[in-house]
A and B are shown apart, each in its own frame.
Chain A
Amino acid sequence: MRARQPVSTVFGLGLAVGVPVLFLLVFFLVPLLGMLWIGLAPNGQVDLVGFVDVLGRPRTHRIIGLTLAQAATATVIALLAGLPVAAVLHRRRFRGAGVLRALVFVPFVLPTVVVGVAFRTLFRPSGWLGWLGLDGTFAAIIAALVFFNIAVVVRTVGVRWESLDPRQAEAAASLGASPWRVWWTVTLPALAPAVWSAAAVVFLFCATAFGTVLVLGGLQFGTIETEIYTLTMDYLDLPAAAALSLLQLVLVVALLTVSARLRQRGERGVTTRAAAPKPRLGRGDAGLLAWSLLVVAALMLPLAALVVRSLETPHGWGLDYYVAFLGGSSAASAVLLSLSTAAQAAAIALVLGLGLALALSRPAVTARQLRWRDRLDRLVMLPLGVSAVTVGLGMLITLNRPPLDMRTTGILIPISQAIVALPLVLRVLLPVLRGIDPKLREAAASLGASPARVLLDVDLRLAARPIAAATVFALAVSLGEFGATSFLARPTDPTLPVLIYRLITRPGAENLGMALAGSVILAMLVLALTGLVERLRAGVAGAF
């Protein structure tokens, strides 16, 4: 029989769960439902004629098929390409590992329109990869989706891998198991929760991809998301858009249910240990290292196309566009605004995500608790799979009364980014926290540590690396302008991606050059931030 939990713990758990739930209710569920409501009941009464009509169209069926095919293909490839990279970059110590880890992360934050230009520069008939004939094909879309999402696989799985207790694998090896057998029977099952987490996130990102699909597919490939966008923005056909949003919601919930089952199967019996020095790169790692370098090189190819074009001026090679971009009145303030927005979004996502992760990683007592825990988990994941158009416009129509009328203040920007960052934070933290042996906490408690002390000494100490990784994700989501931000009305000062977008949508070589220079600067900013967070983390971990 377990001891009754002290009041302060119950109160803490309530707060850790209640605040994120309230946050999602106000800024996600209410806007979503508000938008669905005016679509399904335009005159105040539910009218399902349009709904049935949309779901019966052959076009809708084709688009569902395309959405699932694109997302599934890209997810599988991102996993196959990314897992070996995680194995090397997160488990081995060598000169340059940190730089490579940061490089892998850069694509994640680049603006879609810039990546579109970069890929199409490679794929156009006269481009470096023009001979492949990929321009406007399904393969081109997949390539770009993998490019964006490989960071999710490498980070999510890599962080879990770092904190796995290596003794099981070592024991199996010492008993004569081949490296392949050790991987298959010990390591992979232990990693499974993180792999499924990454897969779910990548799948949802790909299934809701919008610009990438249009720019690289040359219009013939649509997704549910592009269809919702067209129906809403071009035709303002809200009933049809609501029908598709609802369909999207059902698919996402189904996917999350399946992925949660798969994830949970592996979450027992795997222990987390404190961050320990990683082994040096050995001879046995040659194959993995070669693969990783190949993947990194492939990721760098579109970036190289960007850098080359940003240096190509009408009068030869030069830094003219960088000088022009940085000399413009808005560049410095755009960088600062991007950073401060990112800090706000990351702060919201981390505070909410950490509380939620700690609450959800407590051992569940009853089956009922388990069920609620699953529901909560799915609620947090939901925003990744729901149309940003719907949520963004939903915010404008529902958050329109004081004290919630923040539509014109700009605060909705970091909030909608935090909504997307929150599930990533949770997915990174949960596998590690759930792997903590409860006996550690019990031992600490029996030695007289208060619940707060246990949290600090056990949970947070073991989670130092994942917290750093979650921070990087949250900052990146904001820097990359994820979420519903492009459907809100925003104050006129641009963030870096918005400034880049404004430049790239204007004619003239100068504007394009400056937009590309700005993108390279954004990439370097991400590299610097990733490096900084890793360094901080090393410092913090050392302090314990």
Chain B
Amino acid sequence: MAIAAVLTGCASTAPVDPGATPEELVLITHGSFALGEDNEVLDRFTEQTGIAVTVLQADDAGALTNQLVLTKNAPLADVAFGVDTTFASRAVKAGVFAEHQVAAMGPDQERFQLPAGAGREVLAPITSGDVCINIDAEWYQSKGQTPPATLDDLIKPKYRGQLVASGASTSSPGLAFLLATIAAYGEDGWRDYWRALVANDIKVTAGWTDAYTVDFTRAGGDRPIVLSYGSSPAFDPATQNLDATCFRQVEYAGVIAGTKYPTAAGQLVDFLFSAEAQAAIPDSMYVFPTNTAVALPEGWAGVVSVAETAYELDPAVIDAKREAWIAEWSAIVIG
């Protein structure tokens, strides 16, 4: 029997017990994934289960989702983490994930979960991050001016030429900001809001990096208002988050359909929601844990928090309208 397997060189024909414990599981994720120094937190999982975890990283959440969809028939991994609010629907619809429920997930996670029938059965929320407008509080203080607080403020003449944001067509936070304005002003109002932003001299960059590290006043640039993340002020105390401008982005984990070890893969998803893994999320990935029982690290507690009233949109609606929205947005902003 063993000889036959060697001779045919084809292990996949032999049926594998789905509950078997493999020596190794492959976790595919995006480029920002980390759990402790050198992913040392994953070693706890290995200690508990005897299963080693190999991590593969795609560029970003979009690249990850597309790779999952395209390799559906010959998956690269057993578990995926990092598909986010804006891409979840694409992956779920393509049937990338197998059903799995994290037992520990309670009513506190309700607000992070996908709607029933649209991903709740297959994807578990692991991190929650807000894309928010940040301000250079020091700049406003030194000028003796009041900083803006809301989306409405950003189109007031007194903040003319002060906002820099990355574009919805080229960056993930940029898309989240567009979605925040759609959630805030509705299908009928967001276009006028963006026309007003353009009239108020918004600067649109390709990516978050050059907005935050070139144009933002904290980086020596000329604009004291920047599109960034809810957690950014933890890394620069001179900046502040505008809580009323946030869009909620949740990142999910799921068992990849077609894995030979669905039970073990499910254990790894459970582990990502466990207190051990969740506690490492803020310092490693700069977003918040969805397991709200976990304490935030020093420098976070009291400085930043998950915005209570972040804007949200149904992932299925995002998936259906993304292309049309971005095209209209481009026409307004880029011309």
Interfacial residues, chain A to chain B (CB-CB below 8 A) = 113, 116-117, 120-121, 124-126, 211, 214-215, 218-220, 230, 232-237, 309, 329-330, 393, 396-397, 400-402, 405, 407-408, 486-492, 498, 501-502, 504-512
Contacts and interface: CB of A to CB of B under 8 A. Distances in A.
Given A218-B204, A220-B335, A407-B76, A117 B209 contact: yes
B305 interface: no
Contacts, number: 144
Given A219-B206, A234-B323, 15 more contacts: A116-B206, A120-B210, A124-B222, A211-B206, A215-B210, A219-B205, A219-B330, A232-B66, A233-B63, A233-B66, A408-B77, A507-B228, A507-B231, A509-B219, A511-B235
Nearest to A220: B334
Contacts of A487: 59, 63
A234 B59 contact: no
A234 B169 contact: yes
Contact of B215 (A124, A230, A486, A506): A124
Interface in B48-85: 54-59, 62-63, 66-67, 69-71, 73-74, 76-77
Interface stretch (B24-32, B107-115, B189-197, B309-317): B24-32
Nearest to B65: A236
Given A124-B215, A329-B37, A509 B71 contact: no
The DSSP consensus for interface residues of chain B is mixed
B167 interface: yes
A52 B148 CA distance: 48
A412 B222 CA distance: 42
A297 B308 CA distance: 52
Contacts of A508: 232, 235-236
Contacts of A233: 62-63, 66
B286 interface: yes
8 contacts: A116-B206, A126-B220, A218-B206, A234-B169, A393-B67, A492-B33, A492-B39, A507-B235
A486 B62 CA distance: 12
B138 to A, nearest CB: 12
Contacts of B69: 236
Contact of A237 (B63, B212, B213, B323): B323
Contact of B57 (A113, A124, A490): A490
Contacts of B22: none
B170 interface: yes
Contacts of A232: 66
Interface of B: 9-10, 26, 28, 31-33, 37-39, 54-59, 62-63, 66-67, 69-71, 73-74, 76-77, 90, 167, 169-170, 204-210, 212-215, 218-222, 228-229, 231-232, 235-236, 286, 322-323, 326, 330, 333-335
A121 B214 contact: yes
A507 B229 contact: yes
A232 B66 CA distance: 8
A124 B214 contact: yes
B205 A215 contact: yes
Contacts of B73: 400
Contacts of B208: 505
Contacts of A124: 214-215, 221-222
Contacts of B209: 113, 116-117, 504-505
Nearest to A211: B206
A117 B213 CA distance: 7
B4 to A, nearest CB: 16
Given A492-B56, A505-B32, A396 B210 contact: no
B275 to A, nearest CB: 23
A508 B239 CA distance: 10
Contacts of B204: 218-219
A501 B31 contact: yes
Contacts of B70: 393, 396-397
A336 to B, nearest CB: 15
A214 B170 contact: yes
B207 A215 contact: yes
B155 to A, nearest CB: 20
A240 to B, nearest CB: 10
